[in-house]
A and B are shown apart, each in its own frame.
Chain A
């Protein structure tokens, strides 16, 4: 089974550049998440889509970070302009929408991430 696919695996950018990260969720999954991972902050939610609709836009990340989901099988995360403090691993994850049962919750499947270095 194909898992979550993220490209590129590594990205190096100059300060001020625009970069676009890509994600293909698990086929059939309805929820898609973008996280930023750093040693200090751990996993920080950037964006959250349900059935292609933006549910959460990450608050503090709104000004330079923009995630889009043009179809159910592809999402992008644009960072514009990049700053050195954006250096981190960016993880994409997907899951099924949980069932109607109040106490059920579905597993989150993560991609291998994109390691971004901003010089």
Chain B
């Protein structure tokens, strides 16, 4: 069945250092993936999503590349900012055709000064 795995529950790093949050998936069909971000006391919102033509999506300095060979869609940013501290969810569109999202368990990113 479809599933999303985020291996890190908590990532803490210093401002200015690069960020990489891991996301791997299992999908029966060609995958369509998302990253959602949730700041404290706010609703989750879309950060970026994969494209069918394999273009690399970017938003707010974050980018992610879909690698079908390794079933991964890791989230990256070259230089972390304090405002990046948030909960990040990787999500996959279910293969069942219902278009519901299957979420990973989430990674809490804390950026320290």
Contact = CB atoms under 8 A, between A and B. Distances in A.
B32 interface: yes
The 7 nearest A-B residue pairs measured at CB: A110-B43, A103-B52, A42-B105, A43-B103, A42-B106, A105-B32, A107-B46
A55 interface: yes
Nearest to A33: B100
A31 B99 contact: yes
Contacts, number: 54
Contacts of B98: 48, 50, 55-56
B30 interface: yes
Interface residues of B, number: 21
Interface string B94-108: 000011110111100
A103 B101 contact: no
B78 to A, nearest CB: 25
Interface residues of A, number: 28
B98 to A, nearest CB: 6
Interface of B: 30, 32, 34, 36, 42-46, 49, 52, 89, 93, 98-101, 103-106
Contacts of B34: 105, 107-108
A31 B94 CA distance: 14
B105 A105 contact: no
B43 A42 contact: no
A97 B43 contact: no
Given A43-B89, A48-B100, 11 more contacts: A3-B43, A4-B43, A42-B106, A43-B103, A50-B98, A97-B99, A103-B30, A105-B32, A109-B45, A110-B45, A113-B43
Interface string A1-20: 00110000000000000000
B100 to A, nearest CB: 5
Interface string A45-56: 100101000011
